[in-house]
């Protein structure tokens, strides 16, 4: 008896204690499939002319997937430029060794931020002549040219030069000696709306407005300046939107932004959200489940407790509206989603046990659950679902 106790304490002492020793798949995690990104980019690229460039939009940490991994595989698939939202995102990508041109899609307006952008070889988006002047002074100071893109507002009313004043301002900007205009772009506000092919739609009017402006400044003469307008939806509408480059996010991650249109591509989701069962229990008929007891069992029910909740980025208003997959079978989530856990009705399953893995997003056999389904159920958009996942969920690359 004494000897056994000694051995046991010895084994226990040898267990690791550091955070780094925790298995990333111990609780809940996001699987990132780099090869899906690569294949999606290849497929999307096949819709573009050879000369049209593909900018992979990897802002918000690659729509929650991990910007470094997404960039690596997007480049393998044929992306020639990358788009981020912030200075920090751009610097992080450069530090990870990415060499391709990087455009910051958000606005930098202080001299300090613009100098940092210049020093890290990141191209800012410029929306005013004042910002252009700062960039020109920075280029001059360093005896060089500051590469940047000019943005024109054609109807989004977010960033960009005022459309009606752009030509006049461009006439001055084009003589600034210490900037190099690498692109002129605009952003579509409504390309994913059903009427976008209607000649009178906002999307078509934005395109015409932008193209007429480009004609007037005669940018095609100058091959250095890339013109770009299309996001995923714009690109998939038709080739009139492609210009010299497209800026692609959602479809590269595997989702069709044009809900009711068959785009003729088999895009693969690059993100799977998986979770462990941390406990199971059986409750009688008539028992409330989770906060507020809003779900009451209508029969003797077997529950699995999953280690994931709204603090991981699962919208709480999905409570009771989603399924979870285990071995090609759907199981309904029941009761309010809590901060760190949620319950699933697994009545009838003998296979699901403590430690089993269930799929919240992704597919198994012929069962699939996508962020598009979650977005519909929680009255939001798939972009928001993808960007909501917190860092508490480790990103695990699988290829
Ligand atoms: C300026 C800009 N371009 C391109 C994109 C990519 O859009 P999507 O994810 O619809 O392809 C975004 C995303 O919001 C954006 O802000």
The predicted structure's pLDDT at residue 1: 43
Ligand 1 atom closest to Cα of 187?
1
Note the pLDDT of residue 10: 62
Q: Specify whether the CB–CB gap between 301 and 380 falls below 8 A.
A: no
- C-alpha to C-alpha distance for 20 and 22, rounded to whole angstroms: 6
Q: Give catalytic status of residue 291 as yes or no.
A: yes
Give the separation between CA 350 and CA 362, rounded to whole angstroms.
Answer: 23
Residues 6+ apart with CB under 8 A from 311: 339, 340, 390, 392
DSSP string over 289-337: ESGGG-EE-SSSEEEEEES--GGGT--GGGTTT-EEEETTEEEEEES--
Quick check: is 15 catalytic?
no
Q: Is the CB of 257 under 6 A from ligand 1?
A: yes
**CA 159 / ligand 1 centre spacing (Å):** 13
* Domains, in order of start, for the chain: 34-248 (3.20.20.10), 271-398 (2.40.37.10)
Atom of ligand 1 nearest to the CA of 247: 4
Q: Which of 165, 172, 285, 291 does the annotation list as catalytic? A: 291
Under DSSP, the state recorded for 124 is: E
Ligand 1 site, residue 249, Cβ cutoff 6 A: yes
Going residue by residue through the chain, which has 399 residues, state the pLDDT in tens, using 9 for 90 and above: 444 555 555 688 889 889 999 999 999 999 999 999 999 999 999 999 999 999 999 999 999 999 999 999 999 999 999 999 999 999 999 999 999 999 999 999 999 999 999 999 999 999 999 999 999 999 999 999 999 999 999 999 999 999 999 999 999 999 999 999 999 999 999 999 999 999 999 999 999 999 999 999 988 666 789 999 999 999 999 999 999 999 999 999 999 999 888 899 999 999 999 999 999 999 999 999 999 999 999 999 999 999 999 999 999 999 999 999 999 999 999 999 999 999 999 999 999 999 999 999 999 999 999 999 999 999 999 999 999 999 999 999 998
95 contacts 67 by C-beta, under 8 angstroms: no
Contact 335, 294 (CB under 8 A): yes
CA-closest residue to ligand 1 atom 5 = 231
The CA-based dihedral angle spanning residues 247, 252, 258, 261, taken in that order and rounded to the nearest 10 degrees:
120
């Amino acid at each position: 008896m004494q000897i056994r106790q000694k051995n046991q304490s010895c084994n226990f002492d040898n267990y690791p204690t550091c955070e780094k020793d925790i298995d990333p798949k111990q609780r809940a995690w996001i699987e990132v499939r780099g090869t899906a990104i690569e294949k999606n980019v290849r497929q999307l690229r096949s819709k573009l002319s050879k000369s049209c460039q593909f900018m992979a939009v990897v802002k918000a940490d690659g729509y929650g997937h991990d910007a470094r991994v997404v960039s690596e595989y997007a480049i393998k698939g044929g992306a020639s430029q990358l788009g981020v939202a912030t200075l920090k995102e751009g610097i992080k990508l450069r530090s990870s060794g990415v060499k391709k041109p990087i455009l910051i899609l958000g606005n930098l307006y202080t001299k300090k931020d613009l100098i940092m952008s210049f020093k890290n070889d990141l191209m800012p988006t410029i929306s005013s002549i004042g910002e252009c002047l700062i960039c020109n002074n920075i280029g001059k100071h360093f005896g060089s040219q500051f590469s940047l893109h000019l943005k024109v507002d054609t109807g989004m009313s977010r960033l960009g030069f005022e459309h009606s004043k752009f030509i006049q301002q461009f006439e001055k900007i084009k003589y600034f000696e210490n900037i190099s205009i690498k692109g002129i772009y605009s952003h579509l506000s409504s390309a994913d709306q059903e009427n976008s092919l209607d000649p009178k739609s906002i999307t078509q009017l934005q395109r015409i407005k932008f193209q007429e402006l480009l004609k007037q400044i005669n940018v095609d003469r100058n091959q250095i300046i890339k013109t770009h307008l299309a996001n995923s939806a714009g690109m998939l509408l038709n080739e009139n939107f492609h210009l010299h480059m497209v800026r692609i996010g959602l479809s590269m991650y595997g989702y069709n932004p044009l809900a009711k249109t068959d785009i003729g591509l088999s895009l693969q989701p690059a993100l799977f959200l998986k979770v462990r069962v941390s406990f199971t229990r059986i409750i009688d008929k008539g028992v409330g489940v989770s906060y507020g007891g809003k779900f009451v069992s209508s029969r003797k029910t077997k529950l699995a407790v999953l280690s994931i909740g709204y603090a991981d980025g699962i919208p709480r208003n999905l409570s009771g509206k989603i399924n979870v997959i285990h071995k090609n079978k759907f199981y309904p989530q029941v009761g309010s989603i809590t901060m760190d856990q949620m319950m699933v009705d697994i009545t009838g399953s003998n296979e699901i046990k403590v430690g089993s893995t269930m799929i919240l997003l992704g597919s198994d056999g012929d069962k699939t659950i996508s962020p598009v389904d979650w977005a519909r159920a929680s009255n939001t958009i798939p972009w928001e679902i993808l960007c909501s996942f917190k860092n508490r969920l480790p990103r695990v690359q699988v290829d």
